[in-house]
Amino acid sequence: EDLSKAYRLVHDIFLQTGFLKHETSGLRMRHFEASSETATFIAEKNGSVVGVLSVVSDSPDLGLPSDVAFKPELDTLRARGLRLCELTNQAVAEEYRKSAVPTELMRCAVAHGMLSGFDEGVAAVSPSQDGC
């Protein structure tokens, strides 16, 4: 239920910023979100999801979300034998964007990456996502 609420928040915020088109499910669900190798961190306030951030583990089968735009650069890192992850789905409800929520979500994601043994974490940021 928490993941459903989280991916609904991502959908709604990314829709508002024009980053994606409306999905009939109302959720931002890609094959990365369905992977057991993806860790999703959720911030809640009074039972409502107010923030989310996911860490996607690189794999030979799925790769990373940023392969769409940065595959040559990511392949260079992979060729060096680095274990990669990508921080994605960062979405925070507007009223919590200037609170500790974004920082704490990032701290959780970075701690997870370190404990999981990733060598590098990457993130792609779209200018259209200002404040998200």
**Res. 74 pLDDT band, cuts 50 70 90:** very high
> Which of the four pLDDT bands, split at 50, 70 and 90, describes residue 17?
confident
Q: Stretch 11-16: mean pLDDT, rounded?
A: 80
83-111 pLDDT tens trace: 999 998 888 999 999 999 999 999 999 99
Instruction: Supply the mean pLDDT for the chain.
Output: 87
- Residue 132 confidence class, pLDDT cut points 50, 70, 90: very low
Identify the residue with better confidence: 36 or 23: 36
Q: Give the per-residue pLDDT at 84.
A: 97
Cβ-in-10-Å burial (0-12, 13-18, 19+) of 110 comes to middle
Would you state the pLDDT for residue 127? 57
Count Cβ atoms below 10 Å from residue 117 Cβ, excluding itself: 8
Q: Answer whether residue 64 shows pLDDT above 70.
A: yes
Residues in contact with 93: Cβ distance below 8 Å, sequence separation at least 6, in sequence order: 9, 13, 50, 51
Q: What is the pTM assigned to this prediction?
A: 0.83
pLDDT at 22 over 80: no
Distance CA 68, CA 34 (A): 18
